[in-house]
Structures are given as structure tokens and as C-alpha cells.
Structure 1
């Protein structure tokens, strides 16, 4: 009986240790962000977006933590061509396209970002980090700068995180570039400056 009790206690202890290890590596959260294009005279692009966040800590050294990040995202944007000369006269039906493209358009982007994050802890509760991500996306609206369909989203961000027990709060300024890498007709792309706010929970 005593042996069974001891084995049972050892089993529960090992489960607890494994759970603690899992807690230290996985984190799930939600981010909300918004932004706009860099100032220019050619077009406007205003966006806001939601991201699910799944963090996994790969390793940790004395000064840094290394994580990978999966981020399904939906992006809601409004875009308008300001400089109709962007559509060249050699473009077929260029006058009609100028008229069409200078209308305000709503754009939806469905993205799967895959990122790598380097984190520098500051004390027990705070950290700063650098994040780079790239991912495939589907764009649902053709504009003068982007064909409808498949493209990529690239993000470079600096972040600050504050932790309270298992809850993490994030603020993340970033630069974002969207283009289709020349896989389809129009590839001018969009460049935006965004900021994200997020909350996540250690699993």
C-alpha cells in the first residue's frame, strides 16, 4: 500500500513538473492593432486588425529568450488612389481604371504570420523584444497597387511586455510591408506604420 502511495505521489509530481515546463514555454493571446501608410502623395491606406498569438519559447540564456510565434490575422483596410497618374496611359482602359481606382475601396486581408522573437527580460515582470515575421495572405480586392489574391505580409516590430503572474500585456510599434513578390500582375504593395496592443496567457 505504501509503495502504491509513493508511486502515486511520484506520478503526480512528475505531471506537475511537466505542466510547469509547459507553462513556461506556451502562451496564447489576442492582439488588436491599427495604422496607416507612410506620408505620401500617391495613395491612402488606413487599417486595423486582429491577431491570435501563439508563442513558444525555444530556449533561454542568461540574458535573452528566443521564441517562435504563430499569428493568424484578419486585417480591415481602406485604400484610395490619390495620384491618378500612377495608372499610365499605356495601361489598357487606363481612363476607366483611373476613375475606378481613385474611388475609396475597402480591403480585407487574411494572413498567417510566422515570426521569430528575441526577448530581453528587465527584472522579473518586464521585457523588451524584437520581432520579425513573414506570412502568406489572401487579399480580396484589386487596386492599382495590388492584384487580388495571394501575397505576403512582412513585419518588423519592437515590443514591450509586462507580466502579472500568468497574464502578459504587450505594446508593439511596427513597420509592415505587403506585396505579392511579383507572382501576379500588380506588385506596388503597401507600406504602413502600425501599433499593436495585446494580452496573452501562459498555458
Structure 2
């Protein structure tokens, strides 16, 4: 009986370090004259608290994501004459395109509790992605997504409600023929649960 109680207490202590959640976000490109890009996305989130000090908590965040984007080239001259079939490419890229991205971001969170129910945090994450559409800015296939975010959370019982503005950069690190990438500003709403 004592062994069973000790095992249960240890399991509960480990569960306090984990949270699972879902989030939804949307955003678009910074104002520019070259292209438009707007997106919305869904994430599954797994948080693991690796350390807690007097003033801060440190967490690792793993978040698979599916991103639905719409992109259109605005600057006809962005595609240079050096590119093979540049005239045809210009016509093709000027059309509105739907872009799907499948992402696995891994991030690091530094959280500052404010009272017993609230916290603010900074998040940096990076991860591989697969994109299904070639554009003038990025080749189809393998790329990376980098995210920098500030967030605010409110805890209620075992639930945590999250508001997260972020900046996102997507490019393929020169692994594809086109690598101008996309830069977007986003807002994200999430909910997570501590088992």
C-alpha cells in the first residue's frame, strides 16, 4: 500500500511538468510592394517544464503545425530575366496561390509568473517544414520556420489560456533554388491542460 501511494505521488509530481494544448492563429505579411501573404494555422502543443527558479520558469515546447497560406506576387519585375522561362514564370507567379505548410517547431520558453494566475513569457522556436507550392519567393519542399513571440497566459484550475503575438520567418536556408522566404506578423490563441 505504501509503495502504491509513493508511486502515485511521484507520477503526479511528473505530471505537473507537462501540459498539452491546442492553438489557432492568423496573420499576414509586413506591408511591402513585392507580395501578399496571409495565413491561418492550427497547432498541437506539448509543454515540458525543465526548471523553475524563484522568478522564472523554463520550458521546452514541441508544436506540430498545419499552416494554410494565400500568396500572390505583386512586383512583376521581382522575377529577373536571368531565370529560365522568366516571362512564363512572371505570369504564373502573379496568380493567387494557396500554400500548405506542415511544420514541426521546437521552442524554448522563459516564463515570468505574475501573481498566482497570470504569467508573461518570451518564446523562440525553429523547426523543419514541408511546403506544397512553389512561389517566386520559395521553392516547393523542405524549409524552416523561425518564430519569436511574446505571450500572456491566465491559469484557471488545470487550464491555461494563452494570447501570443509573434513574428515568423520562413525560408529554406539556401537549400532550394528560390529562398527569399516570407515574413509575417501573427496573433495566436491557445488553451492547454495539465493532466
For residues 132-153 of structure 1, give each alpha carbon's deviation from its aligned partner in whole angstroms, at most 9, with x where no partner exists: 0000000100000000000000
Q: Please say which structure displays the higher CA radius of gyration.
A: 1
Taking the aligned partners of 1:91 and 1:157, their CA distance within structure 2 comes to 36
Report the equivalent of 2:75: 83
Residue of structure 2 aligned with 1:52, choices 25, 44, 59 = 44
Question: How far apart are the structure 2 equivalents of 1:23 and 1:196?
Answer: 25
Q: Counterpart of 1:91 in 2: which secondary structure?
A: coil
Question: Deviation digits for residues 171-190 of structure 1, max 9, x if unmatched?
Answer: 00000000000011000000
Name which of 147, 154, 159 aligns with 2:146: 154
User: CA separation in 2, counterparts of 1:124 and 1:23?
Assistant: 19
Q: Which runs of 5+ in 1 are unaligned?
A: 1-7
Of 154, 160, 172 in structure 2, the residue corresponding to residue 180 of structure 1 is: 172
Match of 2:5 in 1: 13
* Structure 2 residues without counterparts, runs of 5 or longer: none
- Can you list the C-alpha shifts for 1:118-140, whole angstroms capped at 9, x where unaligned? 00001111000000000000010
Q: 2:159 aligned with 1:167, yes or no? A: yes
Structure 1 stretches of 4+ with a deviation exceeding 2 A read: none
Distance, in Å, in 1 between the alignment partners of 2:119 and 2:5 is 31
How many aligned positions are there? 195
Q: What's the counterpart of residue 97 of structure 1?
A: 89
| TM-score, normalised relative to structure 1 | 0.94
* Aligned-pair CA distance for 1:11: 2.2
**Which deviates more from structure 2 when the two are superposed, residues 19-28 or residues 102-111?**
19-28
Greater helix content: 1
Let me know the Cα RMSD of the aligned residues: 0.7
In the alignment, the residues of structure 2 paired with residue 15 and residue 163 of structure 1 have an alpha-carbon distance, to the nearest angstrom, of 27
What CA deviation, in whole Å up to 9, does each residue of 1:10-53 have, x standing for no partner? Answer: 22321331132122100000000000000001000000000000
CA distance in 2, matches of 1:68, 1:55: 6
Q: What is residue 99 of structure 2 aligned with on the other side?
A: 107
Residue number in structure 1 paired with 2:34: 42
TM-score by length of 2: 0.98
Distance across 2 between alignment mates of 1:186 and 1:89: 15
Aligned to 1:31: 23
Separation in 1, partners of 2:19, 2:37: 32
What's the counterpart of residue 123 of structure 2? 131
